[in-house]
Structure 1
Amino acid sequence: MKKVFLIDFDGTVTKVDTVDLMVKEFAKDGWQYYEKLWEKGEMSTEECAIETLKLMEVDEKKLLDLLYTVEIDDYFMEFLNFCREKDYEVVIVSDGYDFNIKTIMNKYGFDVKFYSNKLWFEDGKIKVDFPHKSKDCDKCGMCKLEVLNKYKIRGYYVVYVGDGYSDLCVSQHADKVFAKGVLEKYCKENEIPCTSFRNFSDIIEKLKR
């Protein structure tokens, strides 16, 4: 059976959440209100993003400069090499932005298939779009469950790796879950089997066993 790793990006591949970072750096006060509503599930990612962007003052260069300060997990590149050797597929699934993911991939020199929301600059203004949202649920901008189902239909064994709020739904449907942070707490409270991890070295070690 083919194996695919669906991996959250912000706070999982990266050491910090790049969307949180840009909001804290460039948004005027008031974004905290929208974030709380999003965390409670009372506001969708799309609604939260649109309202937060109204508070942001940033250009493309400033955002690139900020993103180039972001570090990835110390063992993520080793994990990618391990998956290549084993012929495991790796796909990033992110409720963040393609602009951020591409910038980090360019910085570290790796190229992984990914699904995410879109962000770009037009006439000096920041723009976003949500091409992978679900028709049935508006919680997330990018529906990770729909990506998981694509692989399930094709007969894959799906391993999910994540840490946050946008990982809660999809974790219930994966064949195996590696979790930390908010996701680990959620899995334990809801009796969803998961393996805790601190970094990708832990995942490599557990896979080798």
Structure 2
Amino acid sequence: MAIKIFCDFDGTITEGDNIVTLIKQFASPSAKELTTDVLSGKISIREGVEKMFSTIPSNMKDDMTKFVLNNTTIRDGFKEFIGFVNESKLELKVVSGGLDFFVHPILSEYLPSSSVLCNRTDFTGENVKIYWDHSCDLHCSNDCGMCKPSVMRKYSESTDFIVVIGDSITDLQIAKEANLIFARDFLKERCEELNLPYIPFSNFYDIQTALSKEVLV
């Protein structure tokens, strides 16, 4: 049995949500309404994010990248957690609904790019275009965009012990299929509503300690 960890990025590895921050800073005012529609389930995550970023001119790429890199705080203990994962021979994939132009630069000092899965952006046109390279497989019809359960099925076997770490609505479906859930914020609330057992966390030291006690025994 292999232990495989699927970890969210925005709001989990980072203290804040870069998608939300970028939309507030660079997208048109109409994007605020789209954000509400996504959170309420009126439209899919894929459709909402695609429409929001399509309001941003491509020539804003450098400004957006600098803004994110200057305003991102990594959650405490993440660097040590990566060392722990490597020493314990656990398999980690960062599965992010974020965009490659900021996810990869932020994580480059911690993980190889092959361990980071996210959405791809194209800045060659007038406005930002997103490519959903990890969309839903035949077992999902939620129009996720970045479909985390589909990624899990692609990179794991039925005999694997699945650990999910997350904080938001984008982590709920994969959490439902996990053997162990680490949750905070919105995901924590939804786990409580659905009676899904979870371990709360504030930082990655919490996760490392719990894994040592609950899994690596």
Q: TM-score, normalised by structure 2?
A: 0.89
| Structure 1 residues 32 and 178, CA gap change in structure 2 (3 angstroms) | same
Identity %: 28
Is 1:150 aligned with 2:151? Answer: no
1:118-157 → structure 2 map (5 Å cutoff)? 118-123=120-125, 125-135=127-137, 136-153=140-157, 155-157=159-161
Structure 2 runs not aligned, ≥5 long = none
Specify the alignment match of 1:94 in structure 2.
96
After superposition, residues 160-199 of structure 1 pair within 5 angstroms as: 160-199=164-203
Match of 2:84, as an amino acid? Answer: F
Structure 1 72/120 Cα, relative in aligned 2: closer, same or farther at 3 Å?
A: farther
Contact 1:41 1:139 in 2 (8 A): no
In structure 2, the partner of 1:206 is 210
For residue 81 of structure 2, the aligned residue among 79, 87, 95 is: 79
Q: For residues 156 and 61 of structure 2, what CA distance do their matches in structure 1 show?
A: 38
Query: 1:117 corresponds to which residue?
Result: 119
Residue 138 of structure 1, CA deviation:
3.4
Please identify, of 131-140 and 113-122, the stretch whose mean Cα deviation from structure 2 is larger: 131-140
- Counterpart-to-counterpart distance in 1, 2:87 and 2:119: 30
CA distance in 1, matches of 2:96, 2:75: 16
Measured on the aligned residues, the alpha-carbon RMSD in Å equals: 1.7
CA–CA distance in structure 1, aligned partners of residues 28 and 192 of structure 2: 36
CA contact (8 A) 2:82 2:110 kept: no
Match of 1:55 in 2: 55
Deviations 1:171-193 (Å, cap 9, x if unpaired)? 11001000000000000110001
Q: Which amino acid aligns with 2:30?
A: G
Report the CA distance between 1:41 and its aligned residue: 1.6
Unmatched 5+ residue regions in structure 1? Answer: none
Cα distance, 1:172–1:109 mapped onto 2, change above 3 Å: closer
Matched-pair contact (CA < 8 Å) for 1:67–1:103? no
**What's the offset of the Cα at 1:49?**
2.1
In 1, are the aligned partners of 2:4 and 2:156 still within 8 Å (CA)?
no
1:109, distance to aligned residue in structure 2 (A): 4.8
Q: Which moved more, 1:14-23 or 1:52-61?
A: 52-61
What letter is aligned with 1:131?
Answer: D
